[in-house]
Amino acid sequence: MKNNSRTFKALWLAIAVGLGAYASVVLAQEDEGEEADAPVEFPASLDDKLAGLSEAQLAYLKDSSKTRRYASTTEDLIEALEKRSAEQVEAYVDAMIWVEDQTSFEQGRDMAWLPLNTESPDFNAWTVRRPRSFDPDREPGPVSLPRGIPTFAGAPVALTPEDLIAGEVNVAIVGAPLNMGSGWRDAGYGPLVMRTSGGMAGNDQYTQISPSRELNIVDYGDIAIDNDSTERSMQHVREVVREIAETGAIPFIIGGDHSLEYPNVAALVDVYGKGNVSVIHFDAHHDVGMGDSPHHISHGQPIYRLMRDRHITGSDYIQVGLRSGGPSESGYRWMREQGFKYHSMAEVERYGWEYVMDRVLDEAKRDGRKLHVSFDVDVLDPSYIVGTGTPVSGGLTPREAIPIVRKLCAQQELVGFDIVEIAPALDPTYTTALHSAAIIKACLVGVAMRKLGHDIDYLNPVTIDHAQDNYHEENQQ
Amino acid sequence: MTPSPRRRLIAGFALCSLLTTAPLSSLAQQAEADIPPQIMTRLSGLSEGQMDFLRGFQPLRVIATREKLNQELDRRTPAQIEQFVSDMMMAVEAMAFRPGVDMAEIPLNPEASRFNSFKVVRPQALNEYLREPGPFSVHRYIHQWGGIPTFAGALVAVDQADLIAGNVEVAIVGIPQSMSSGSRDARNAPETIRAMHVLGELDIYSMVDPLAVLNVVDYGDISVDRMSVHRGVEHSYQRIMEIAETGAVPFVVGGDHSLMYPSVKAVRDIDADKPLTVVHFGANYNAEPTRAHLLSDRDAVYRLISEGVVDGNNVIQVGLRGSQATPQAFQWLREQGVKYHTMAEVELRGWDEVAERVIDEAKSATDRVYISLDVSVVDPAQLRGAGRAAPGGLTIRELAPLLRRLCAETQIAGFEIMDLAPMLDLSYVSAMNANYLMNACLTGVAMRKLGLDDDNYMDPMTVDHGQD
């Protein structure tokens, strides 16, 4: 067992090193702006103070990509040097070099792994499923529960792929109460509040379509999560999402934090094959992560991890609603090079929402592949979604987001949907749950529209006009 | 900063993986099975291995009791029983580590240029303005109202030299971590505690003003890796040791209860020859044996005892009522010599008697006492913002006097308040009560310095108006 685990460790190391090398070669973020900087020229007045420095110390001091952490401009740096004695200047540059040395990984000093306790008899207890023989025999198929027991969309419950197949299930809504990818803030309670709040699949006024009538929808329970490890949770989420998709049902994953985008998309690629799935990512944040983090997965880097593990490429992505502090201009440039089609709120400010929405729909249509929608509720403005872990001001309104989600899910062949970062404890009211349910419903309506053969702009003719006169006809001529 | 404590800590991590089978074996002792004859007649199809499994303790890892197991067997045909038993065996087997299938370790990314950035301490030489060592005020006025929030409104100290220069007696330090099982906002506790008054105010029970008596500072926050308890634990250990080395008493504001491990260990290691008594207040016993993860809030007490950091005889637990503590768990605590006091004991004996017993035990143990206060010990009505709240807890009027007495009547070497989760309480009440409890201990420390360490000292002026 020891040997095995050592072999396994070596295997993981090989994978990690391999991927790391791949990442650094293929995905290395081109920081042209920063790397092109010429060495800093210091004024002659500093000559005396710099004379005592070694070549290495001087080279470090002239490299503004390194010193800008401490003095953000060349002027600041010169000022900092001018007010120090020669001795203090040397201590100053030594301190910078020391910080860099301490910050990067050093073999022997730092753990390259987080150890787990493989001796524990309960190592996997969290993922072990309840055998069918523990319960009284029943035919496979979705089980309706008595009124009052909360399920997603009030739907019957399915526990196994056999239940999904027997029930010819179109949509399996499944919870993934992962809290840790964000490190904090309650996303673990997202599934619970979305079960108890309702509003997900009843009649839709705009289209007069009721998803729960048109589609076979089930509650597939929650996926087991190890809330002490995002990494360990990834593997199991991927297994369960895959088993849903393999039956032909569309997995709707209710998070949980945005780390889940990684196992969700990876599972869909497992089932439908590389190159056959594209993703639309609604989010205030780009979540590309760029790979410069000690951790291989968190809620800030699922897309990078998907790219690193070669499940998907940047050109498979459309992003909508970006407006957080990152990425920097060089990050955006890198995303361009990788083929991302990003749509920031700056684009919305410049061109207007209708215009940007049409552009997104057009891009998706021309892509034409099977689609996964990953919807981070923080793409909406915090006034609609108070309960989310990393809110950013200036987001979309529900009246902007609902139509685009409905149209996308009607236009494309949807194979997966996730909604993440719902953090109930941050919103003492029902508002966050209400708007989250409206987004899920918009997509379910879209899926039903497609099944019924409606085009994406379909709205019910009776609902949109009282018809007591010919107002619209006359007006539009 | 010395390397040897770090080596000890790492050795400790290695050791803890060897200590995990104890609870299972105590389960094994409990469960020696007799199978009723009417069930036996239907078991003839089972193999010897399956029969051994059924008689042993393993079925109780998936079925709650022997009685329920017999019910399950009783309602099945022999063929169904075979299926049932083989499924149980598969489930139990699937719980263990599978070499070649499961990750034995979680890989990190050594390529990251910011691999250690969370814990790199800013070198003096990078400071733009140079200053003499010593605690300094961040207030403009002599009597500042409001202003920049610090713990207790105290002066700020940045590094060890400041503590030494200021003859600091109490250094309050935050650790904004909320990653363990609860994962419910304990990371915001330090900033909320700073932003609330009550800590550092005059205590009218003793008429002692702790800030007037003691040199108290805000030592800032200790940085953590928000994605890993493990990666931050050694850094927390070193920073707390840095405080304790100067003779100052660390008051740690968590953070989740996993931080008890590095905090207690650092305080113990400062004076390793002298045993340390730990009084742990909490709804949850936090001595669950190690599971797949080596460090979490649920196992800090288990780790401290099983690694020998503290002797079980020197651990006193107060307020237990969380459902994690099974009969096997209490059995284990007893075997370790832990003096636990559950809310069941309080119900039976009354709080005054239990509180006296705790005081006696703390006084007669050793001469260094560490208080670990998990806010869950308080009833949720008075402390809603607790990461792992449990109904039926102590009131502030029960707990604060005991804390004041413990801190006055024993030699406090360290204090921590853990698992305050501010966002779970939209009011100010949890933060205020947490500050009040901390102030009770701070007052106690000041009382001891003033020699007011008699049994249950209170100021004669305030306990009676004296008009008759």
* A145 and A88 in a common domain: no
**pLDDT tens sequence across A160-201:** 999 999 999 999 999 999 987 554 567 778 999 999 988 899
What's the whole-number average pLDDT of chain A?
A: 90
Mean residue pLDDT across chain B: 90
Q: pLDDT grade, residue B140 (50/70/90)?
A: confident
Dihedral sign (CA A193, A197, A203, A205):
negative
Query: How many folded domains does chain A comprise?
Result: 2
- Whether the CB-CB separation of B222 and B237 falls below 8 Å is answered with no
Which residue in the set A12, A99, A232 is minimally distant from B123, CB to CB?
A99
**pLDDT at B371 (0 to 100):** 98
Pair (A234, A283) in one structural domain: yes
Mutate one of B74, B105, B179, B257 to test the A interface: name it (highest A CB count within 10 A): B105
| pLDDT the model gives residue B226 | 85
pLDDT of residue A387: 93
- Give B5's pLDDT tier (boundaries 50, 70, 90): very low
Please check whether residue A63 is in contact with residue A39, taking contact to mean a CB–CB distance below 8 angstroms: yes
In a domain, A396, yes or no: yes
Q: Are residues A164 and A69 in the same domain?
A: no
Interface check for A28 against chain B (CB to CB < 8 A): the answer is no
Region for B439 from its dihedrals, namely left if φ exceeds 0, alpha if ψ lies in -120 to 50, beta otherwise: alpha
Q: What average pLDDT does range B361-367 have in this prediction?
A: 88
Q: How far apart are CA B240 and CA B218, in angstroms?
A: 13
Tokens of A253: 């994953």
* Minimum-distance CB partner of B95 among A125, A130, A188: A125
State percent of chain A over pLDDT 90: 80
Identify which of B403, B371, B399, B374 has the alpha carbon closest to the alpha carbon of residue B388.
Answer: B374
- Give the neighbor-by-neighbor strand order of the sheet with A414-420: A217-222, A171-176, A250-255, A414-420, A370-376, A277-282, A317-322, A341-344
State the pLDDT at residue A169: 98
Give pLDDT, residue A446: 98
Rounded to 5 degrees, what are φ and ψ at B271?
Answer: -140, 65
- pLDDT at residue number A461: 95
Structure tokens at A5: 């685990």
- Same domain, yes or no: A70 and A179: no
Residue of A nearest to B127 (CA): A92
What pLDDT score was predicted for residue A17? 46
Q: Is residue A21 part of a domain?
A: no
**Which range, of A243-257, A437-451, B181-195, B215-229, averages the lowest pLDDT?**
B181-195
Q: Under a CB-based contact definition with an 8 Å cutoff, are residues B430 and B383 in contact?
A: yes
In a domain, A474, yes or no: no
**In this structure, are strands A250-255 and A277-282 parallel, antiparallel, or unpaired?**
unpaired
CB contacts under 8 A, B 60-89 vs A, are 61-62, 72, 80, 83-84, 87-88
3-state secondary structure of A33: helix
pLDDT at A194: 95
| Residue A174 domain flag | yes
> What is the C-alpha separation between B95 and A130, in angstroms, rounded?
12
**Measured between beta carbons, which residues in chain A are less than 8 angstroms from residue B388?**
none
Does the pTM surpass 0.90? The reply is no
Could you report the per-residue pLDDT of B283-309, keeping only the tens digit for each? 999 999 878 888 888 899 999 999 999
Task: For residue range A120-154, list pLDDT tens digits in order.
Answer: 999 999 999 999 999 988 999 999 998 889 999 99
Q: Domain containing A434 — which CATH number?
A: 3.40.800.10
> What value, to the nearest 5°, has the Cα angle with vertex A295 and ends A256 and A313?
75
Residues A240, A179 share a domain: yes
| pLDDT in the model for residue A181 | 58
Residues A301 and A372 in one domain: yes
Instruction: Specify whether A98 is located in the same domain as A228.
Output: no
Taking residues A18-27, what's their average pLDDT? 46
**How near does any CA of chain B get to the CA of A22, in Å?**
12
Indicate yes or no: CB of A185 within 8 angstroms of CB of B123. no
In a domain, A476, yes or no: no
Does the pLDDT value for residue B38 go beyond 50? Answer: yes
User: Residue written as tokens 């498979």?
Assistant: A316
Domain span at residue A275 reads 138-452
Look at residues B348, B323, B343 and name the one whose alpha carbon lies nearest to residue B392: B343
Give me the residues of A, 177-196, that contact B with CB < 8 A: 179-180, 183-186, 188
For the stretch A385-436, pLDDT in tens is 999 989 999 999 999 999 999 999 999 999 999 999 999 888 989 999 999 9
Cβ-based neighbour number of residue A155 at 10 Å: 24
Q: Identify whether residues A272 and A145 lie together within a single domain.
A: yes
Yes or no, beta carbons of B125 and A94 under 8 Å apart: yes
Query: Which residues of B, range 169-188, sit inside 8 Å of A by Cβ?
Result: 178-181, 183-185, 187-188
Q: Are residues A86 and A233 in the same domain?
A: no
ipTM of the shown complex: 0.81
Same domain, A85 and A157: no
What confidence category does residue B48 fall into, taking pLDDT thresholds of 50, 70 and 90?
very high
pLDDT (0 to 100) of residue B183: 59
Does any domain span residue A466?
A: no
Let me know if residue A470 belongs to a domain: no
Claim to verify: residue A425 and residue A319 sit in the same structural domain: yes
- Do A120 and B102 lie within an 8 Å CB cutoff? no
pLDDT tens figures, B223-235: 999 888 899 999 9
pLDDT for res B366: 77
| Rounded mean pLDDT, A253-262 | 95
Is A25 contained in some domain? no
Residue B229's contacts (CB-CB under 8 Å, 6 or more residues apart) are A228, B177, B179, B180, B258, B295, B296
Q: Mark whether A189 and A65 lie in a shared domain.
A: no
CB within 8 Å of B392: residues ≥ 6 apart:
B321, B343, B379
